[in-house]
Amino acid sequence: MIKDVKIGSPLGKSDHTVMECDVTLKMSETESKLTKRNFRKGDYNEISQGLLAVNWKEQFAGKCGRPLLS
């Protein structure tokens, strides 16, 4: 897993030195279980038209604690 360890020169006047090595890791690909939505493909004009077609005052009448603004 760790190979080719090399001890380099000290850092300045310190007793610390630079250490260099190669690390080999094995990784396996896993399929993501997350749903990724592609918002670039949305038909936003159609969504806007659909939202404009709804009578929102009628839909929310009596469902709010206060009257809806005009």
Q: What residues of the chain score a pLDDT lower than 70?
A: 65-70
Percentage, residues of the chain above pLDDT 90: 39
List b or e across 7-35, with b for residues whose CB sees 16 or more CB atoms inside 10 angstroms.
eeeeeeeeeeeeeeeeeeeeeeeeeeeee
Entry pTM? 0.39
CA distance 59 to 35: 31
Arithmetic mean of pLDDT over the chain: 87
